[in-house]
Structure 1
Amino acid sequence: MATVTSPRRAPGGAGVMPDTPGWARWANDHRKWLFAAPAMAFVAALIVIPLGWTVWLSLTDAEGSVRAESEFIGFRNYLDVLSDTDRFWPAVGRTATFTLIALAFEVVLGMAVALLLWRPFKGQKWVRVAILLPLVATPVAVGMMWRLIFDPNIGLANQVLGRFGVGPQPWLTGQNSALYTTIFIDVWQWTPMVVLILLAGLTSLSEEPQEAARIDGASSWQRFRHVTLPLLMPTVIVAILLRGIDALKTFDILYATKGKGGGSFHEVETLNVYAYGLSFDYNEYGVSSTVLILFFLIIVGSMWALTARRRKEAKR
């Protein structure tokens, strides 16, 4: 009876015959990278090419049109922008204020709502749907809606306040109140996103630490502080990163509510709104590219700072 021999395999079980050419062996060993390479190259091109073009424009005096002849001026734009105390640095301050306050409220409110939705109760699915409704609308539509609500003359907000004997408020028209009003709008729309992320993290937690703490007599606050929050911290950091970067880049709500320049007195002009105005209102492409590169560095630096603690813990 003939003996059936199985094909010989290369060491490690890779399934490659010993007489396979060297390039085929290399391709088999690196197949996971080769399959992903086209997609990775495409994504890299989408990032590197626009970023490189923006860096080049920031080093020129391009204005009027990006196709017009421009002269290489080195870092002159950067020196001019960084010494601009009238528009650039106030825009940096507004961007930081908007991001930090909005992010703080969204994380705290998102955590509170996620904890309320963590345990099952009657009508829970309808409550979840209602909470997530603000995410359905586009930011421009949300901005226009709240612009009508906060209208100082016909807006619903002042009409409600009037029923309680409170005089009309400027809301979006006031120099001191406009930025905080837009922060409220951002919190209203994007807190559900934080709720969604944190609720997913809560549902993935094991019940055993909670039960052990409950048996030991820990109160609800003690269980949250010493058990739930430490276990949930990686998810909280993810929520802060995603929402923080998005808040830094906020543009549509601000432009929909205040228009060009962030208002007549630039009261809600963040870096995004400032760069947009330089590009499309004044056609100063070299300066606007400089602002965008500096903004990009601020975002990267913020991401690095937010993840610094996690990197230290990972090294331990």
Structure 2
Amino acid sequence: MTALKTPDELSTRERFSRWADRHRKWLFAAPSIAFTALLLVIPLAWTLFLSFTDARRSVRRDFGFNGVENYVEVLTDTERFWPSVWRTFAFTGGALTFELILGMVIALLLWKPFRGQGIVRTIVLLPLVATPVAVGMMWRLLFEPNIGFVNEMLSWVGIPPQPWLADPSTSLATLTFVDIWQWTPMVALILLAGLTSLSEEPQEAARVDGANGWQRFWYITVPLMRPVIIAAVLLRGIDALKTFDILYATKGKGGGAFHDVETLNVYAYGLSFDYNEYGLASAVLILFFLIILAVIWVLQMQRKGKDS
């Protein structure tokens, strides 16, 4: 029988082998972590660098540092920047609110088994199959004021044609509806996964105590689902904040002729690719990144506060 060696008796190779065995989960994950970090750090660092320069017109043009001039210009822009901030949060807040409500309703309807449940789930998830650009173009045709099918249906019940995407006062709400139509199934899928993991015992106990369906939902299901709901808000909220493709596919440059759906993403894209203002665009993107970090921090604090 071979005696075990003490740590001092081990060779360098044996010590490394034991260390690698203890930390194998980190060693296997290290390459992917390093690759992902490089994909994030390098573009972010370059954008931060450009935000302090006067880079514009051409990528080959020499540029110099101008300090925080870009940030001052952006933060004092009350015609484009601050309205785009408001539209970004209005679009995100409106879409997220309805997606959570409708997603919860759909998840509750699909929670219990019923005949044809698989077919219904497939139909509910169909909007997720199409790309956002294809969805935007489809709804652009449906909402077309003159030949669109939506106005055609309204005419059947005597409602006059509506401008939808053609009117600056209704275009943002219309595109919020499009986002709700496409992404509610994803929220429903997350909430349904949370519902299926819940124990039946609290529900049965409340039912025995005489609680009705609404009371069981509000006082038992919702508190138990709170971590899942916050996770759905976090995932979908960040994704909605940076929505670009649907807005650009339907309204084009600048979020329309009157910038009626110009969010921060569309604004930064226009500064960079339409006006070649790379320094200003970088400053907008850095501010947008900080806004997203602030939103994540607030949601995480809410989650920790609810858990404690």
TM tier, shorter chain?
over 0.9
Question: What does residue range 58-73 of structure 1 map to in structure 2 within 5 Å?
Answer: 58-73=51-66
The answer to whether the 8 Å contact 1:8/1:17 transfers is no
Give 3-state SS (helix, strand or coil) of 2:46's partner. helix
Q: Which structure 2 residue ranges, 5 or more long, are not aligned?
A: none
Write the distance in 1 (CA, Å) between the matches of 2:142 and 2:47: 39
AA aligned to 1:70 is F
Judged with a 3 Å threshold, the aligned counterparts in structure 2 of structure 1 residues 20 and 208 are, in CA distance, closer, same or farther, namely farther
Is 2:22 the counterpart of 1:20?
A: no
Q: What corresponds to 1:148 in structure 2?
A: 141
- Cα displacement string for residues 277-304 of structure 1 (whole angstroms, at most 9, x for unaligned residues): 0111011100000000000001110011
- Cα displacement string for residues 139-174 of structure 1 (whole angstroms, at most 9, x for unaligned residues): 000000000000000001111111111111000000
The answer to whether the 8 Å contact 1:213/1:223 transfers is yes
Q: What corresponds to 2:179 in structure 1?
A: 186
Judged with a 3 Å threshold, the aligned counterparts in structure 2 of structure 1 residues 17 and 119 are, in CA distance, closer, same or farther, namely farther
Q: What corresponds to 1:8 in structure 2?
A: 4
Write the distance in 1 (CA, Å) between the matches of 2:18 and 2:188: 48
The answer to whether the 8 Å contact 1:144/1:257 transfers is yes
Write the distance in 1 (CA, Å) between the matches of 2:124 and 2:18: 54
- Cα displacement string for residues 35-61 of structure 1 (whole angstroms, at most 9, x for unaligned residues): 222211111100000000000000000
Q: What corresponds to 1:274 in structure 2?
A: 267
TM-score (norm 1): 0.93
Is 2:192 the counterpart of 1:196?
A: no
Match of 1:177 among 166, 170, 183: 170
Is 2:132 the counterpart of 1:139?
A: yes
Q: What corresponds to 1:284 in structure 2?
A: 277
AA aligned to 1:292 is L
Write the distance in 1 (CA, Å) between the matches of 2:24 and 2:189: 36
- Following TM superposition, by how much is the alpha carbon of 1:28 offset from its aligned partner in structure 2, in angstroms? 4.1
- Following TM superposition, by how much is the alpha carbon of 1:17 offset from its aligned partner in structure 2, in angstroms? 9.0
Judged with a 3 Å threshold, the aligned counterparts in structure 2 of structure 1 residues 42 and 7 are, in CA distance, closer, same or farther, namely farther
Question: What does residue range 1-316 of structure 1 map to in structure 2 within 5 Å?
Answer: 5-6=1-2, 8=4, 18-21=9-12, 22-314=15-307, 316=308
Write the distance in 1 (CA, Å) between the matches of 2:160 and 2:295: 40
Write the distance in 1 (CA, Å) between the matches of 2:217 and 2:306: 21
Moved over 3 A (4+): 22-31
Q: Which structure 1 residue ranges, 5 or more long, are not aligned?
A: 11-15
CA-based RMSD: 1.5
Write the distance in 1 (CA, Å) between the matches of 2:179 and 2:155: 25
- Following TM superposition, by how much is the alpha carbon of 1:175 offset from its aligned partner in structure 2, in angstroms? 1.0
Give aligned-pair identity as a percent: 64
The answer to whether the 8 Å contact 1:107/1:191 transfers is yes
Write the distance in 2 (CA, Å) between the matches of 1:139 and 1:6: 65
AA aligned to 2:44 is L
Judged with a 3 Å threshold, the aligned counterparts in structure 2 of structure 1 residues 17 and 138 are, in CA distance, closer, same or farther, namely farther
- Cα displacement string for residues 97-151 of structure 1 (whole angstroms, at most 9, x for unaligned residues): 0000000000000001100000111111111100000000000000000000000
Judged with a 3 Å threshold, the aligned counterparts in structure 2 of structure 1 residues 7 and 65 are, in CA distance, closer, same or farther, namely farther
Judged with a 3 Å threshold, the aligned counterparts in structure 2 of structure 1 residues 212 and 274 are, in CA distance, closer, same or farther, namely same
What is the total number of aligned residue pairs between the two structures?
306
Give 3-state SS (helix, strand or coil) of 1:86's partner. coil
AA aligned to 2:115 is K
